[in-house]
């Protein structure tokens, strides 16, 4: 139940700013962002279970991040790794190459997921669903875009709407990074829950009940076994990464540190 927020041409200095939470079972091992591919200069976290990544950048300023599409049943572990797609896209180190890769991908080979990717010049969203072999790829315009575990603008994820509204603040455009970062961190650390009537009723046989579905609508999730395990802030300038910061825990209580590049 991850959330990725992209501010495209919102800030005066940085054409693309990313603020993201990774939500996962606490027991699932992971490594923090580091150099994972010398040839393409890819910096990303690594999933200790299947070897892929949930998010990363290249030194030249390509960003790729994934959110799993919400399903009410357990994922099919026999299918290919979604995190490996993210890593392969990062190794392409080029937006056009990523689009070509996704257009050639057989979506039926994966559990459903969503990708947000781009650089200082362009931003795209992609939707991978098992119902069709084809991946849907669409360009995004200027503004604040919050991708949770469904399509952009989905009414089933009020937390995405909440963080979009919070970051549509014209005053953020002129802030230096040192002043902008606390606003992003506070948004990622939001514990507010939506009214119960705004939370979708789980279907029969769902893995979790409605009260838990509501708790998962916080931006920063705290439950005994599952929650927000890390957070990332990225600011991209033309052909470079201006800032890459990472918190290895709940953003409401974990300091962010620079990722060495």
Structure tokens, 210? 């409605």
Residue 140 is predicted with a pLDDT of: 98
| Contact in structure between 62 and 239 (CB atoms under 8 Å) | no
Distance CA 183, CA 143 (A): 17
Q: How much is the CA Rg of the chain, to the nearest whole Å? A: 17
Residue 1 is predicted with a pLDDT of: 65
| Contact in structure between 124 and 138 (CB atoms under 8 Å) | yes
Helices (H), 93-188: 95-104, 158-167, 177-188
How does residue 172 score in pLDDT terms, banded at 50, 70 and 90?
very high
Q: Tell me, what CATH number does 23's domain have?
A: 3.60.60.10
Residue 256 Cα distances to 106, 181, 231, 243, angstroms: 37, 10, 8, 11
Looking at the structure of the chain, the number of domains it has is 1
| Contact in structure between 21 and 231 (CB atoms under 8 Å) | yes
| Contact in structure between 64 and 102 (CB atoms under 8 Å) | no
Q: What's the pLDDT tens digit per position in 36-65?
A: 999 999 999 999 999 999 999 999 999 999
Structure tokens, 37? 């591919």
Residue 52 is predicted with a pLDDT of: 95
- Residue 226 belongs to what domain range? 3-258
| Burial 89-124, CB ≥16 within 10 A → b, else e | bbbbbbbeebbebbeebebeebbbbbbbbbbbeebb
């Amino acid at each position: 139940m991850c959330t990725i927020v992209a501010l495209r041409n919102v800030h005066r200095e940085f054409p693309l700013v990313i603020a993201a939470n990774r939500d996962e079972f606490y027991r699932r091992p992971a490594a923090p962002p580091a150099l994972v591919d010398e040839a393409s200069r890819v910096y990303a976290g690594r999933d200790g279970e299947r070897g892929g990544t949930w998010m990363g950048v290249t030194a030249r300023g390509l960003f790729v991040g994934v959110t799993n599409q919400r399903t009410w049943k357990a994922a099919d572990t026999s299918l290919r790794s979604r995190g490996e797609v993210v890593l392969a896209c990062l190794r392409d180190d080029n937006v056009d190459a990523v689009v070509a890769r996704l257009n050639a991908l057989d979506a039926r080979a994966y559990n459903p997921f969503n990708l947000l990717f781009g650089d200082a010049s362009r931003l795209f969203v992609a939707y991978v669903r098992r119902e069709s072999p084809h991946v849907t790829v669409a360009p995004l315009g200027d503004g604040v875009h919050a991708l949770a575990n469904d399509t952009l603008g989905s009414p089933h994820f009020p937390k995405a709407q909440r963080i979009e509204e919070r970051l549509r603040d014209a005053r953020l455009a002129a802030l230096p990074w040192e002043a902008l970062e606390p606003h992003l961190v506070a948004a990622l650390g939001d514990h507010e829950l939506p009214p119960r009537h705004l939370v979708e009723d789980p279907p029969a046989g769902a893995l979790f009940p409605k009260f838990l579905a509501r708790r998962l609508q916080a931006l920063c999730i705290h439950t005994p076994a599952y929650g927000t395990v890390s957070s990332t802030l990225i600011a991209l300038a033309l052909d470079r990464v201006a800032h890459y910061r990472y918190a290895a825990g709940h953003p409401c209580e974990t300091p962010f540190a620079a990722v060495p590049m």
